[in-house]
Structures are given as C-alpha cells and as structure tokens.
Amino acid sequence: ETGVTQSPTHLIKTRGQQVTLRCSSQSGHNTVSWYQQALGQGPQFIFQYYREEENGRGNFPPRFSGLQFPNYSSELNVNALELDDSALYLCASSLDSRGNNYNEQFFGPGTRLTVL
Amino acid sequence: AQSVTQPDIHITVSEGASLELRCNYSYGATPYLFWYVQSPGQGLQLLLKYFSGDTLVQGIKGFEAEFKRSQSSFNLRKPSVHWSDAAEYFCAVGPFSGNTPLVFGKGTRLSVIA
C-alpha cells in the first residue's frame, strides 16, 4: 500500500508568482484535504476534494484553488503569491464511504513553500 | 466553533522522565480527538485517537491519552521519554462524521535532554 506523497519537497517563489503543489492519495482513498501550516502554528484547513469536486473550504481567499483528478490525486494552486503564503503545505487523504463514521486522514510529508 | 488549546508552547524533559502534554478543546458535542507528532521536516504521524468508549487510549511509541469530558481535556502522556521523542506534538479535534476537517492546536515542542 502506497502512502500519501507530495511534490515538490521544497519550493522558492517570489511575490506575485503562481505555484502548483501536487498530492498523490493513498491507494483506495477518494478524498483529499489540504492544510497550510505556517511556522510555529498548527495546520489550518484550506479545502477538501471528494470525487473531483470541492467538498468544503476553510477561511482562505479565492486565489487558493484546487483540483482533484479521476485517479484522486490533487493539486493546490496559489495565485499572486504573498509573503505570508510561506508555509508547509500538507495534504491528507481519506476514504469517504458516505457513512457516519469518521474517515481517518493520512498525511503526506508536505511541501515547504518559501515566498521571497 | 471548535477550538483546541495547547497551553505549553515548549517543554523540556530529561530522558527517562515522564511526560504530560496538555490539550483542551471546545466543541458542542462529543468530539473525535487526536494526537499527532511531527518531526523536523516531516509530515504528521497519528499517535492515537479517541472516538468513544474507554477514556484511556493507547497509541504508538508507548504514548497514551486520557479523555476527560468534565475538563474538556485530552492530555497526552508517556511514562519514560526517549531522546527520539523530541518533536512537535499537535492535538486535534474533529466532529462525529464525514470528512469534515480537523482543527489543530498550535502545538507543543518537546525537547529531550540527557
């Protein structure tokens, strides 16, 4: 069973640029959630995708957008980068069976984004 | 609104000493509670979780946590700390069902000295 993988590991961008981060779900999982972890903070929920559709969003501006593909991998896109976007970006995959049980999230190692 | 408070930003313990990391949560119903560990440059690894039943839960690496509803707490404990336990620890709360996201505390950094 393959775990959650993310690419790239590290990325350096300048203000105003655009960035795309990628996440491959754990095998058999159909849901991906993205979190932003700023330095010295806990992860904060950005949004979630279930079966290629957005399934919830946190308090992040529209310049944070995402995609989920038929193989359930996912991308996080950030436009017009700001210095405060510097953070570790984590994705987590889970299997949503549309039941009432909590669906455990499995986290990837993260992508460290630095905005200069 | 859900929230998680980890009152201790940084804790230092001696190797072999016992450890307790505090976590308090705010949630309107019985939550799902989690403890994650994050080593430098790594993602999050689940240590243990509480959904229901026995309020004392056992996790990996010798960790345990106790859910106390009356105190809205879910403190993490380990009887004897190893140097490899030095890391950042996050408490998180989630709702009863579905894929609703986790809400994390700000974390407690654990340092272990010889």
Closest CA to B30 of B55, B65, B58: B55
Predicted confidence at residue A105, as pLDDT, reads 86
Percent of chain B at pLDDT above 70?
Answer: 95
Q: Which residues pair with A93 in a beta bridge?
A: A32, A106
Pairwise pLDDT comparison (A90 vs B30), residue with the higher score: A90
When mean pLDDT is compared over A1-5, A18-22, A103-107, B100-104, the highest value belongs to A18-22
Averaged pLDDT for residues B76-81:
98
Whether residue A106 has pLDDT greater than 60:
yes
Contacts of A103 in chain B (CB under 8 A): 98-99
Residue-wise pLDDT tens digits, A23-73:
999 988 889 999 999 998 999 999 999 889 998 899 999 999 999 999 889
SS3 of residue A84 by DSSP: helix
Contacts of B51 in chain A (CB under 8 A): 102
pLDDT interval class at A104 (50, 70, 90): confident
Q: Are A90 and B90 in contact (CB under 8 A)?
A: no
Contacts of B42 in chain A (CB under 8 A): 109-110
How many angstroms separate the CA of residue A98 from the nearest CA in chain B? 7
pLDDT interval class at A17 (50, 70, 90): very high
Whether residue A99 has pLDDT greater than 80:
no
Q: How far is residue A24's CA from residue B92's CA, in Å, rounded to a whole number?
A: 23
Is some CB atom of chain B closer than 8 A to the CB atom of A111? no
Predicted confidence at residue A22, as pLDDT, reads 98
Residue-wise pLDDT tens digits, B23-66:
999 887 778 899 999 998 788 999 999 988 889 999 999 999 99
Is some CB atom of chain B closer than 8 A to the CB atom of A101? yes
Contacts of A105 in chain B (CB under 8 A): 102
Is some CB atom of chain A closer than 8 A to the CB atom of B96? yes
pLDDT interval class at B95 (50, 70, 90): low
Predicted confidence at residue B99, as pLDDT, reads 60
How many angstroms separate the CA of residue B106 from the nearest CA in chain A? 4
Does the distance separating the beta carbons of B97 and A99 come in below 8 Å? Answer: yes
Q: Could you tell me which chain B residue has the CA closest to the CA of A34? A: B101
Closest CA to A82 of A49, A32, A36: A36
Backbone φ and ψ for B84, nearest 5 degrees, come out as -75, -5
